[in-house]
Structure 1
Amino acid sequence: MDVYRAAPADTAAAATARPLPWARWALLGAAGGAAAGSLVAGAPSGLASYFARQVLTPVRERPQDLAILAVVGSGPGQEIILPATAGTTAPGVYSVYFDAGAGHARVGEITFHSPREGTVQRKVERVYAGDLSRAVRGYWGGSAYPDPAALGLASEEVRIAVEGGEAPAWLVPAAGEARTWAIMVHGRGATRTEGLRAVHTARGLGLASLLISYRNDGEAPHAPDRRYGLGMTEWRDVEAAIGYALAQGAEDVVLFGWSMGGAVSLQAADQSVYRDRIRALVLDAPVVNWMDVLAYQAKLNRIPETVGNFSQWLISNRAGRLLTGLAAPVDLKLMDWVSRSGHLAVPTLILHSERDDFVPYGPSAELAERNPGLVTFERFSTPGHTREWNAEPEHWERVVSGWLARVLGISRA
Structure 2
Amino acid sequence: MTAQTQPRPETAPRVWPRRAAYAGIAGAAGLAVLLPTGTAGAGWFLAGQVLNVNGPRVYPVRVRAYAGNRITLTRTPDTARSIPLSFVWASGHARLGDVIALDRVTVTREIESVTRGTLAAGIRGYTSGYVFEGDPLSARGLPFDEVVVPGELGALPAWLVPPTEGPADDTWIIAVHGRGAPRGEALRALPTLAASGHRTLVVSYRNDLGAPASPDHRFHLGHTEWLDVRAAIDYARAEGARDIILMGWSMGGAAIFNLLRHWDHEGFLRGLVLDCPVVDWNATLRMNARQLNVPPAWTWTALKLIQYRLGVRAADLDYREVASRLNVPTLVYVDHDDRTVAPTPTVEFARSSPDYVTLVETREAGHCRGWNLDPTAYEHHLATFLKSV
Residue aligned with 1:372, SS: coil
Q: 2:356 pairs with 336, 359, 374, which one?
A: 374
The one-letter code sitting in structure 2 at the alignment partner of 1:136 is: I
CA shift for structure 1 position 294: 1.3
- Within 2, Cα distance between the matches of 1:248 and 1:288? 31
Residue equivalent to 1:115: 103
Q: Is the 8 A contact 2:25 2:179 kept in 1?
A: no
Q: Partner amino acid for 1:333?
A: A
Task: Kindly provide the amino acid, as one letter, of the partner of residue 119 in structure 1.
Answer: T
The residue that corresponds to 1:83 in the other structure is: 74
Higher RCO structure (Cα 8 Å, ≥6 apart) = 2
**Residue pair 2:176, 2:248 contacting (<8 A) in 1 also:** yes
The SS at the match of 1:177 is: coil
Q: CA distance change for structure 1 residues 340 and 165 in 2, over 3 Å: closer, same or farther?
A: closer
- Look up the SS of the partner of 2:120 in the other structure: helix
CA distance in 1, matches of 2:257, 2:386: 17
Q: Name the aligned partner's letter for residue 351 of structure 2.
A: E
1:213 aligns with 2:204: yes
User: Residue type of the partner of 1:360?
Assistant: A
Match of 2:217 among 214, 226, 249: 226
**Greater Cα radius of gyration, structure 1 or 2:** 1
Question: Aligned partner of 1:263: which letter?
Answer: A
Shift, 1:404, TM fit:
2.5
1:181 to 157, 165, 172: 172
SS for the counterpart of 2:320 is coil
For residues 257 and 370 of structure 1, do their structure 2 counterparts lie closer, same or farther at Cα, with a shift above 3 Å needed? same
CA shift at 1:403, angstroms? 2.1
Q: Which amino acid aligns with 2:156?
A: A
1:216-263 alpha-carbon deviations (Å, 9 max, x no partner): 123311111111110110011011111111222221111111111111
Q: Secondary structure at the match of 1:227?
A: coil
Q: CA RMSD in A?
A: 2.1
Which of the numbers 55, 64, 78 marks the counterpart of 2:59? 64
2:229 corresponds to 1:238 = yes
**Secondary structure, in 3 states, of the residue corresponding to 1:139?**
strand
CA distance in 2, matches of 1:273, 1:377: 25
Are residues 144 and 13 of structure 1, via their aligned partners in 2, closer, same or farther at CA, if it must alter by over 3 Å? closer
Structure 2 residue 35 is matched with structure 1 residue 20: yes
* 1:158-197 pair list within 5 angstroms: 158-175=147-164, 176-197=167-188
> 1:283 aligned to 2:274?
yes
Q: Scaled by the length of structure 2, what TM-score is found?
A: 0.87
Structure 1 pair 65/275, CA: closer, same or farther in 2 (3 Å)?
farther
Alpha-carbon contact 1:60-1:218 (below 8 Å) kept: no
Q: Deviations over 1:161-198 (max 9, x none)?
A: 11222111111111322321211111111110001111
CA distance in 1, matches of 2:98, 2:342: 27
Partner residue in 1 for 2:11: none
Aligned equivalent of 1:250, options 230, 241, 265? 241
Question: For residues 300-315 of structure 1, what are the structure 2 equivalents within 5 Å?
Answer: 300-315=291-306
- Rounded to whole Å, the distance in 1 between the matches of 2:114 and 2:194 is 26
Question: Does the aligned pair in 1 maintain the 2:49–2:55 contact within 8 Å?
Answer: no
Q: Is the 8 A contact 1:269 1:346 kept in 2?
A: no
Alignment of 1:313-352 (within 5 A): 313-316=304-307, 320=308, 326=309, 328-352=310-334
**Deviation digits for residues 22-52 of structure 1 (CA, Å, limit 9, x no counterpart):** 1xxxxxxxxxxxxxxxxxxxx2122112211
C-alpha distance in structure 2 between counterparts of 1:345 and 1:158, whole Å:
31
Deviations 1:125-164 (A, max 9, x none): 2222111236611111111112212111111111111122
Per the alignment, in what secondary structure is the counterpart of residue 132 of structure 2? coil
Query: Does residue 345 of structure 2 align to residue 359 of structure 1?
Result: no
Paired amino acid for 1:196: L
Q: How many angstroms apart in 1 are the aligned matches of 2:110 and 2:140?
A: 19
Alpha-carbon distance in 2 for matches of 1:79, 1:331: 50
Distance in 2 (alpha carbons) for counterparts of 1:382 and 1:352: 11
Instruction: For structure 2, list consecutive stretches of 5 or more residues without a partner in the other structure.
Output: 1-21
Of 391, 399, 409 in structure 1, the residue corresponding to residue 381 of structure 2 is: 399
CA distance in 1, matches of 2:219, 2:368: 19
Q: Provide TM-score, normalisation by structure 1.
A: 0.82
Q: 1:216 & 1:331 partners in 2: Cα distance?
A: 23
Distance 1:398 1:332 in 2: 37
5+ unaligned residues in a row in structure 1: which ranges? 1-10, 23-42, 321-325, 409-413
- Deviation string 1:355-402 (CA, Å, 9 cap, x unpaired) is 111112111111112121222211111332111111211111111111
